[in-house]
Amino acid sequence: MWRIRAIPEVCIGCGLCRVWCKVEHSDSKNIHKAFKPNAPETISCVELEESGCESFAMQCRQCDEPLCAYGCITGAMTKDPDTGLVTVDKKKCVGCWTCILMCPNGVIKRDERNGRSAIKCDLCKDRGFPSCVEHCPNDALVIEESPMNPLAAHSAPLSGSSRGDENILFSEEVDDDE
């Protein structure tokens, strides 16, 4: 099970994690088009927490025991048993916001752009690797295997100089030779 971990000691509070999250969730997926005045509104699933000189990005931690999914009255919030990814089915979500109340990290948001549904970090499943992690200039965000997972032997950060196509988390093919 993969999750994003913030490293506050190296976070400079630039907010690029929020910017790239908004780009990824925009219709255009283009940084130039996503922020134009006439572009459709988009939402960042990342919050930048700041206290004095310290800051860090906060997004869904893909909990081992996702209270948001347990509290969802319609079954819209679910955890994939294979990947551990907690996602929202916007077609099932009725906007009761129970998941927002249940989330211990406060990272689920209201998405009222097209009706009422919850929105949260999905680790950029459609693009294969989280955009916030890829674009963090100080490597203050890393993606790692959950330490709570008993099958995890160790943390596996995939950021820094090893960025690229080899960091695809959600791909159809898995090559064990890499």
Query: All domains of the chain, ordered by start, with CATH?
Result: 1-59+122-171 (3.30.70), 63-120 (3.30.70.20)
* Chain-centroid distance, C-alpha 58: 9
Tell whether the model's pLDDT for residue 132 goes beyond 80. Answer: yes
Q: Return the DSSP state at 167.
A: G
Using CB atoms within 10 Å of the CB of residue 163, give its burial: 0 to 12 exposed, 13 to 18 middle, 19+ buried: middle
| H helix or E strand, kind and range, residue 118 | strand 117-119
pLDDT at residue 120, rounded to an integer: 95
Show the DSSP H helices in 30-80 as ranges.
Answer: 31-34, 67-71
The pTM of the full predicted model, rounded to 2 decimals, is 0.77
Tell whether the model's pLDDT for residue 34 goes beyond 70. Answer: yes
| H helix or E strand, kind and range, residue 50 | strand 47-51
The mean of the pLDDT values for the chain is 84
- Where residue 148 falls among pLDDT bands split at 50, 70, 90? low
Instruction: Round the CA-based radius of gyration of the chain to a whole number and report it.
Output: 16
Q: What is the mean pLDDT of residues 121-125?
A: 93
Which segment of 33-37, 45-49, 172-176 scores lowest on mean pLDDT? 172-176
Name the more confident of 153 and 122: 122
pLDDT at residue 145, rounded to an integer: 83
> 52-107 pLDDT, tens per residue?
888 989 999 999 999 999 999 999 999 999 889 999 999 999 999 999 999 999 99
The DSSP string of 68-117 is: HHHH-SSS-EEE-TTT--EEE-TTT-----HHHHH-TT---EEE-TTSSE
pLDDT at residue 147, rounded to an integer: 61
pLDDT at residue 113, rounded to an integer: 85
One-letter amino acid identity for 174? V
Return the SS3 of 145. Answer: strand
Tell whether the model's pLDDT for residue 162 goes beyond 80. Answer: no
Closest-CA residue to 89 (of 72, 104, 106, 103)? 72
